[in-house]
Structure 1
Amino acid sequence: MKKSEKNFFEKVLDAVPGLSGYRKREDRRTTDKRLREYLAGRIDNARKKIADLKLDYTNEGRLSELDNLGRLERKLTKIGDSIRFANYGYSGLFDQLKIKEEELDVLYNHDLKFIEAVEKLEKSVSEKGEGLKEIVEEIETLVEERKQIFESPDIEGR
């Protein structure tokens, strides 16, 4: 959309009663999508580093640990996909599921925990896998918690 068209569209949204908040909601939805893509990308990068770590372990003769790393790698693939393809935090105007802004703030706070956990994951991979299993389990727990937040009866339209 051209800037002049966007300005016109924004003017229409501002002029029509009840629609000015729609732009803000759509902006939050876009932000939520970008955050999801960012987190999934970082998890994918960590997963790729685990593949490199498996090669290092092989070269070091630490073959007994390869199965565990393989399982962690598969878990991270699943986690990354579940984050990447999760419902966006704010539904559009005509979607059945609508989330109040306060509920979206709960999701954003939860996503901050995700960012911190992914940072720990990256650090662990850099340190040859120290504490890796526990961090992956923490991220799995966060994924489950997010699903529960989304399935909450407090969300309109449920």
Structure 2
Amino acid sequence: MDEILERVKTNRPALERWLRLLPGYAGYKEKEQRRDADRILRETIGQRLQELADRLLGLQRELAGRDLSHVDEIDRLVRRIQALADQIRVGRYGYAGFFDAIRVEEAALEALYQFDADLLQKVEELQKDVEPLDSAIRGGGDLLSALRPLERRIQELQVAWTRRMEVLARVS
């Protein structure tokens, strides 16, 4: 996830490079860049979750044509994923502006960024957990055993997001 932060740093205009020479500005700008990286990372997580929800909706439609027994379970998973994607996209950032009264320390910013990086990893694992469901729907396999890992992974994501928000509440 550090590559996102580095991309933000290298794309700053010449004026900002000059302003970094001002006392106090460099630390402020570093935090601002971390906030931009956090925003990009969370937008990516939200987008990947939405893509996953869309994929599950497609699988649900495919299943509905043959068997309605587990359509509701897939629908619940889709709604949970979409709700989580929305929460992640619009959740509080881990940094207050330069003139704001509330400040988040650098160590706390790093911890929040690590939470987001871990969320992205869990989303990638969730994407892999969809493969058995896809195979079960297309090949007539055991849907229940394919759905359970998805439910557990979504729960892990929700817990991780809740923990992130709790940490942010304590430091701000």
User: Would you say same fold, with TM above 0.5?
Assistant: yes
User: Superposition RMSD on alpha carbons, in Å?
Assistant: 1.7
Q: Give the direction of change, closer, same or farther, for the CA distance of 1:96–1:82 in structure 2 (3 Å limit).
A: farther
Which runs of 5 or more residues in structure 1 are unaligned?
none
Q: Work out which of the residue numbers 107, 125, 128 in structure 2 matches 1:120.
A: 125
Show the counterpart of 2:51. 45
Matches within 5 A, 1:1-158: 6-14=13-21, 16-61=22-67, 63-128=68-133, 130=146, 131-152=149-170, 155=171, 158=172
Q: Distance in 2 between matches of 1:97 and 1:49?
A: 40
Q: Deviation string for 1:56-86 (max 9, x for gaps)?
A: 322342x221111111111111100000001
Q: Deviation string for 1:29-62 (max 9, x for gaps)?
A: 100100010000010011001101102322342x
Give the SS at the match of 2:13.
helix
Structure 1 runs (4+) greater than 4 angstroms displaced: none
**Residue 50 of structure 1 aligns to which amino acid in structure 2?**
L
Structure 1 or 2: more helix by fraction = 2
Q: Deviation string for 1:6-28 (max 9, x for gaps)?
A: 323331331x2211211111111
Q: Distance in 2 between matches of 1:146 and 1:25?
A: 18
**Superposition TM-score, scaled by structure 2 size:** 0.79
Give the SS at the match of 2:104.
coil
**Aligned pairs, number:** 148
Q: Distance in 2 between matches of 1:12 and 1:101?
A: 20
Give the SS at the match of 1:92.
coil
Q: Deviation string for 1:117-140 (max 9, x for gaps)?
A: 101211112221621111111111
**Residue 67 of structure 1 aligns to which amino acid in structure 2?**
D
